[in-house]
Structure 1
Amino acid sequence: MIIVEVAEFFGVSLDAIEAFMLAQDEDSAARRSDKLESEIVELIERLGQYPKIGRRADFYSVTSEASQAWLEQVGQLAAQAGLQEFRECVLSSFLVLYACSETRVMLLSIRHEREAKYGPDAE
């Protein structure tokens, strides 16, 4: 079985999404958050069997210094873990960025499909 891990920044990104959901509509936030978390659990299970199910990640739109620094940091984290391939999977309205090898997967970040990019200044 393939080992699936979750990077710290993934949790930070998920917390930001859940805070946005709460600010956007307090009444439906818990339901939407639970649905997203359920989709993430299902994705982890699938990645545990098929690590390359996602499409190759596209980083050509990374232009700001903050995003480039973030991408370099994420790249170093993935390289230290022996993960050289970056991919993304679509979950309803969200994209999950992950790095993988034949034996290991690391979830790196999550963003809404309408956000332009991953990283600290994604808007």
Structure 2
Amino acid sequence: MIIVDVADSFSESLDAIEACTAARRSDDLEGEIVELIARLEQYPKIGRRANFYSVTSAASQAWLQQVEQLAAQAQLFEFRESVLSAYLILYACSDTRVILHSIRYEQEAKYGLDAV
């Protein structure tokens, strides 16, 4: 089975989303994340390849470098995105491991600090 981990950055992004979301919507999102994790345990490359074209500011580029370093330390060199309702999940993966790195509202065009 594939190991799925959650990075601190993912937890922080999820907490920020839940702070501004109605309780029912928050519960629905958590359920979707649990289902995604179950799918990733079977098919780690199910998401589309991540596109970082919108990471433009120096702060977001530094954030992306940190994410890439964390992924490289875990020997995860492929970044993918998965869509849940109105949210995008960014994760790094290999054939044996997945790390969820970020969640953002789908209409936000950016990852990292640009998305704030």
Matching of residue 37 in structure 1 with residue 45 in structure 2: no
- Decide which of 66, 91, 95 is 1:98's aligned counterpart: 91
Give the corresponding residue for 1:11: 11
Counterpart among 93, 106, 110 of residue 103 in structure 2: 110
In the aligned structure 2, how far is the partner of 1:3 from the partner of 1:73? 21
Q: Share of identical aligned residues, percent?
A: 76
Measured in 2, the distance between the counterparts of 1:84 and 1:90 equals: 20
C-alpha distance in structure 2 between counterparts of 1:73 and 1:101, whole Å: 18
Asked if the contact 2:55–2:112 (Cα under 8 Å) also holds between the matched residues in 1, the reply is no
Q: Which of 47, 65, 79 is 1:72 aligned to?
A: 65
Alignment gaps of 5+ in structure 1: 22-28
Q: Distance in 2 between matches of 1:89 and 1:69?
A: 23
Letter in 1 for 2:16: A
The alignment status of 1:2 with 2:2, answered yes or no, reads yes
Give the number of the structure whose alpha-carbon radius of gyration is greater. Answer: 1
Deviation track 1:51-72 (CA, whole Å, cap 9, x = no partner) reads 0000000001111011100000
What RMSD in Å do the two structures reach over aligned CA positions?
0.7
SS class of match (1:117): coil
Which 4+ runs in 1 deviate beyond 3 A? none
CA distance in 1, matches of 2:23, 2:55: 32
**TM value normalised by structure 2:** 0.98
Gaps of 5+ in 2: none
